[in-house]
A and B are shown apart, each in its own frame.
Chain A
């Protein structure tokens, strides 16, 4: 081993979990931009159907004088969904934070399988490039992100080769996801520092760990579903063909993955939120074990509720009711987790720093997402609500607003750890206010339109008598979405500008007791100069005994009480 590896070895093909994490972060942020821009064009169509898209229209849709056509519209919503779920939010939340913080938080020197880790990133990047190529094809994938068979299994229904590239990309991202999951699980189980037993891990690690378990269990199902679909489409097999196979089988496979996917994306956010509420209200996390068990229970239930996506497919009444009962049962552990957060805040000494602002924003939009889900659980209510914009608003509140604001909270929180500098406070506050307000307006607008019956994925919804009066609602929603997009520019500038001009971060800027703040920022290659020995829980804040002994209101996890 040479004493000083080459630049490429250190920064491009690096096996260091921190570099891999940052690579995931950058890749995810770029695709967040792509997915966001697709959403903006799509929203324009709902506000001004058939009118040329300003600025980018001529470039994107030159054949139709800059207006969105039905075919390009189907491409837009399909690409937006797939880009966001698989190629933006997953890399950011699981790839970036999973990689960056798990070893630091458990006091490990690196991941259990550093090379597998690097491979996972490069396979993800390959998948991202395939996905990008697929939407640049003359016929972009246009089946909806769910890619239901038999729509996708015939060229006549969904023409062009973009669809195949996208299926391949999903298969690859599934493979990468499995690699990452195996790695995270092994790392958490075997690489914890001395004294760091499972119940001393910060809740962020619990969230990421449980996510990895779900990933390992359910991503293979998705990868196989995508592969079978590809075989049906390209080689004419009949897995999902109505005559000999079963089109509903694809929906079972897809949602067996698809519903846990929601929890795959939100569990890391829950974990991070639980920690941040504790750190920024200077109080221990309320009923730590309760939160852990609640997250475990939700993990367990998540694989058993997917049937509520299939209520309208003629599911047997018995099966439907069973899925309905299990779906509604998820609110039990979710309430425990949520109330634990509220109790953590109660009688704390709340510090309104940027990560805390975003964490509180996440709490609000997540509550909105959870409550709007209540309308979709009962089978009878779902008869009306199914496939309307209500569903879209509901899952955007969770899978977009909550996961993204949670990601922002995490980025603002760990930015000083990653780059050794602080992000700009005022710009961050502005970004927070704009994002929160416009996210609520955007997704609230969708909920309103959906409640009045507007279906999703309609190129021109206003040809229906019962939707035509919703045009103004759609327009407001569109402008709110544009507003939300514009406020992200502040974040981009802040993120990149602070790399160069941010103030130097203090050793432990947030006064957090977890292990990552006991080393330098950014941490050295193997993280800790000597292996930390953990002797405290993750949330020892506000302990009067500590205050008396140390003169500060917290004690680090590896700090020995005098």
Chain B
């Protein structure tokens, strides 16, 4: 049995894998130092009749802990800090820049107890138009193209977790956060919720379906056409007097429009980035 991360199918996941692997080496090195040191003391010094008398206060003695602390602080911590910072600014926090790229796919993901509402802008590539369409907990993306998601929540805090894409981002009611990823392999991959969001948190799963560009285009065209037609039918039913009376009861329309995009509160994009 080998212990390994879930397969990485994203273009940027290697950055996270890399920093984890570097940490492995640091941890192995520090563990070996500790265990050898401890082991020698425990085995050898049990036979000592008299302990060496020292308070460890001479300049040379103080240098030992200080040197090791400096090594860990500058070499290990320093590397991790610089590396993660450069990854963030070079790629992970670049969602806003990705929006300007050719062929970017935009989706809005609304988390709710206990499902992911996913909205696509439709063929015209604009949200809030009549050909927007929706899926529930199924995110379909083309391979090899950046996907920029805007994440919100309509009830409690959730967290979008795509283990194979090394993505995790809290969905917070009242805020819309932006992030991006790019799939590199075809297939179906899990979506999970990483933040406890109620009794059925464990079932708040979903699927990312990575398809070829052609398949995605065909799928999007068909779904977008359905979306426009449903919108039209909705408008027709509203216009026709029979069967569609807007009775407001407890603040709720008796007949809700077929789909109200439930962005929680407000729709401004507050912060960019997969993480901070």
Q: Check if A and B associate.
A: yes
Q: Residues of A at under 8 Å CB distance from B?
A: 70-71, 74, 142-144, 148, 150-151, 154, 157-158, 242-243, 246-248, 281-290, 311-317, 319-321, 324-325, 328-329, 331-333, 335-336, 338-340, 342-350, 352, 360, 363-364, 367, 371-372, 374-375, 377-388, 448, 451-453, 455-461, 463-466, 539, 541-544, 547, 553
State which of A338, A455, A459 has its C-beta within 8 Å of the C-beta of B161: A455
Residues of B within 8 A of A343 (CB): 56, 61, 64-65
How many chain B residues touch A (CB < 8 A): the figure is: 94
State which of B72, B159, B169, B173 has its C-beta within 8 Å of the C-beta of A242: B173
Question: Contact at A335–B80, with CB atoms within 8 Å?
Answer: no
Q: Which residue of B lies closest to A371 (CB)?
A: B27
Residues of A within 8 A of B16 (CB): 380-381, 383-384
Q: Is B239 part of the binding interface, using a Cβ–Cβ cutoff of 8 Å?
A: no
Residues of B within 8 A of A285 (CB): 55-56
Closest 3 CB pairs of A and B: A320-B276, A242-B174, A286-B56
Residues of A within 8 A of B73 (CB): 328-329, 331-332, 335
Cβ distance A486 to chain B, nearest Cβ, rounded Å: 26
Q: Is B192 part of the binding interface, using a Cβ–Cβ cutoff of 8 Å?
A: yes
Residues of A within 8 A of B161 (CB): 387, 455
A310 to B84 Cα, complex, angstroms: 16
Q: Which residue of B lies closest to A347 (CB)?
A: B52
Question: Contact at B201–A313, with CB atoms within 8 Å?
Answer: no
Task: Answer whether A286 and B54 are a contact pair too, CB < 8 Å, given A248-B172, A375-B23, A380-B92.
Answer: yes
Residues of B within 8 A of A243 (CB): 174, 265
Residues of B within 8 A of A452 (CB): 3-6
Q: Is B184 part of the binding interface, using a Cβ–Cβ cutoff of 8 Å?
A: no
Task: Answer whether A287 and B57 are a contact pair too, CB < 8 Å, given A151-B198, A379-B276, A464-B190.
Answer: yes
A360 to B190 Cα, complex, angstroms: 42
Question: Contact at B84–A379, with CB atoms within 8 Å?
Answer: yes
11 A–B contacts, CB within 8 A, in A order: A74-B199, A287-B65, A312-B275, A315-B275, A331-B76, A335-B72, A345-B38, A350-B46, A384-B20, A453-B6, A465-B189
A455 to B191 Cα, complex, angstroms: 11
Residues of A within 8 A of B89 (CB): 317
State which of A335, A371, A372, A461 has its C-beta within 8 Å of the C-beta of B68: A335
Task: Answer whether A349 and B175 are a contact pair too, CB < 8 Å, given A331-B72, A335-B69, A455-B161.
Answer: no
Cβ distance B70 to chain A, nearest Cβ, rounded Å: 8
State which of A144, A283, A331, A544 has its C-beta within 8 Å of the C-beta of B196: A144
Q: Is B240 part of the binding interface, using a Cβ–Cβ cutoff of 8 Å?
A: no
A220 to B164 Cα, complex, angstroms: 41
Residues of B within 8 A of A453 (CB): 5-6, 163
Question: Contact at A543–B156, with CB atoms within 8 Å?
Answer: no
Cβ distance B210 to chain A, nearest Cβ, rounded Å: 14
A372 to B15 Cα, complex, angstroms: 19
Task: Answer whether A71 and B6 are a contact pair too, CB < 8 Å, given A247-B174, A380-B87.
Answer: no
A312 to B274 Cα, complex, angstroms: 8
A176 to B127 Cα, complex, angstroms: 54
Residues of B within 8 A of A466 (CB): 6, 163-164, 189-190
State which of A283, A321, A345, A378 has its C-beta within 8 Å of the C-beta of B53: A283
Q: Tell which of B51, B54, B265 has the most Cβ of chain A within 10 Å.
A: B51
Q: Which residue of A lies closest to B34 (CB)?
A: A367
Q: Is B135 part of the binding interface, using a Cβ–Cβ cutoff of 8 Å?
A: no
Question: Contact at A336–B92, with CB atoms within 8 Å?
Answer: no
Cβ distance B26 to chain A, nearest Cβ, rounded Å: 7
Residues of A within 8 A of B19 (CB): 378, 380-381
Question: Contact at B5–A374, with CB atoms within 8 Å?
Answer: no
State which of B48, B177, B264, B276 has its C-beta within 8 Å of the C-beta of A349: B48
Q: Is B130 part of the binding interface, using a Cβ–Cβ cutoff of 8 Å?
A: no
Question: Contact at B168–A387, with CB atoms within 8 Å?
Answer: yes
State which of B42, B66, B93 has its C-beta within 8 Å of the C-beta of A336: B66
Task: Answer whether A553 and B273 are a contact pair too, CB < 8 Å, given A148-B196, A335-B65.
Answer: no
Question: Contact at B88–A464, with CB atoms within 8 Å?
Answer: no
Task: Answer whether A378 and B50 are a contact pair too, CB < 8 Å, given A335-B72, A345-B38.
Answer: no
Task: Answer whether A381 and B23 are a contact pair too, CB < 8 Å, given A314-B170, A328-B81, A348-B45.
Answer: yes
Q: Which residue of B lies closest to A307 (CB)?
A: B276
Residues of A within 8 A of B68 (CB): 335-336, 339
Task: Answer whether A347 and B51 are a contact pair too, CB < 8 Å, given A247-B172, A314-B276, A458-B201.
Answer: yes
Q: Which residue of A lies closest to B49 (CB)?
A: A349
Question: Contact at B155–A284, with CB atoms within 8 Å?
Answer: no
A453 to B81 Cα, complex, angstroms: 23
Q: Is B85 part of the binding interface, using a Cβ–Cβ cutoff of 8 Å?
A: yes
Task: Answer whether A463 and B81 are a contact pair too, CB < 8 Å, given A342-B41, A542-B52.
Answer: no
A378 to B92 Cα, complex, angstroms: 13
Q: Which residue of A lies closest to B79 (CB)?
A: A378
Task: Answer whether A378 and B48 are a contact pair too, CB < 8 Å, given A313-B172, A458-B202.
Answer: no
Interface residues of B in 232-276 (CB under 8 A from A): 264-265, 270-271, 273-276
Cβ distance A351 to chain B, nearest Cβ, rounded Å: 8
Question: Contact at B84–A381, with CB atoms within 8 Å?
Answer: yes
A547 to B65 Cα, complex, angstroms: 29
* Chain B 138-177 interface 0/1 with A at a Cβ cutoff of 8 Å (1 = within): 0000000000000000011101010110111110111101
Cβ distance A303 to chain B, nearest Cβ, rounded Å: 19
Question: Contact at A371–B50, with CB atoms within 8 Å?
Answer: no
Q: Is B129 part of the binding interface, using a Cβ–Cβ cutoff of 8 Å?
A: no
Cβ distance B86 to chain A, nearest Cβ, rounded Å: 10
Question: Contact at B54–A283, with CB atoms within 8 Å?
Answer: yes
Question: Contact at B84–A544, with CB atoms within 8 Å?
Answer: no
Residues of B within 8 A of A344 (CB): 56
A151 to B197 Cα, complex, angstroms: 7
Cβ distance A500 to chain B, nearest Cβ, rounded Å: 33
Question: Contact at B190–A387, with CB atoms within 8 Å?
Answer: no
Q: Tell which of B15, B57, B81 has the most Cβ of chain A within 10 Å.
A: B81
Question: Contact at B65–A340, with CB atoms within 8 Å?
Answer: yes
Q: Which residue of A lies closest to B176 (CB)?
A: A314
Given contacts A453-B163, A463-B205, 16 further A-B contacts (CB under 8 A): A70-B199, A151-B156, A151-B198, A287-B65, A315-B276, A317-B273, A336-B65, A347-B48, A379-B84, A379-B88, A380-B19, A383-B275, A387-B195, A451-B3, A542-B51, A543-B53
Cβ distance A3 to chain B, nearest Cβ, rounded Å: 47
Question: Contact at A350–B45, with CB atoms within 8 Å?
Answer: yes
Residues of B within 8 A of A349 (CB): 45-46, 48-51
Task: Answer whether A384 and B65 are a contact pair too, CB < 8 Å, given A312-B159, A314-B177, A544-B53.
Answer: no
Q: Which residue of A lies closest to B151 (CB)?
A: A314
Q: Is B30 part of the binding interface, using a Cβ–Cβ cutoff of 8 Å?
A: yes
Cβ distance A382 to chain B, nearest Cβ, rounded Å: 7
Q: Is B77 part of the binding interface, using a Cβ–Cβ cutoff of 8 Å?
A: yes
Q: Which residue of B lies closest to A541 (CB)?
A: B51
Residues of A within 8 A of B81 (CB): 321, 324-325, 328, 378
State which of B53, B69, B84 has its C-beta within 8 Å of the C-beta of A333: B69
